[in-house]
Structure 1
Amino acid sequence: MEIMIGKDYKLTSDTLNVILNKRYDQKDKEGNVNGEAFKIIGYYSTIHSACNALIEKEIKDSDVISLDGLKKHVAGVKEQIFEALKSVKPIK
């Protein structure tokens, strides 16, 4: 499984976990950006728990200064998650 959430996050999986990954810039020894890659943020038992963790991470990392701003930020993250999950086909 590989589901992109927005441009900076993706969900992947192994046989036991759903894995939340975040995009980062790869740099060479001199500090020059030479590509992009993903690093693992965490392992979760369900897609639901991975998405909740993403929302929590975005809340903690946000620099908003009001509850209204935080509400809009969280709504944007949730919209990215909903859009990403639309591409998942149900198992028949």
Structure 2
Amino acid sequence: MGSTNNRFDPATVSESYLAAVIEARRPMGLFLARATAKSLPGARWVAVDNSAGDAWTEEFGLESAARAWLVGEIKSKPERMANATLEMMKERLKEERK
């Protein structure tokens, strides 16, 4: 499997290519594929950040959101949830201290 993109420039690829990247963790880079209704109902785009060989994967409804996640403009869903939980805990502590 050859490299199709600059390591930090998201490349739009097929779902089968994306699956191979996830499986092999190669080539390194940022990848985006349009999802089919059969493969991921409700998701229209799948983004994979394999810049460090970890193949972090997220699903998105919009291509623009997938690209923004790949280039670090928005946080991943688990990070957003963890940050929201942390903020909620901080608020509770403030209330308890009053």
Structure with the greater alpha carbon radius of gyration: 2
Q: Between Structure 1 and Structure 2, which shows a larger proportion of strand residues?
A: 1
TM-score (norm. length: structure 1): 0.27
Higher relative contact order (CA 8 A, sep 6+): 1
TM-score (norm. length: structure 2): 0.26
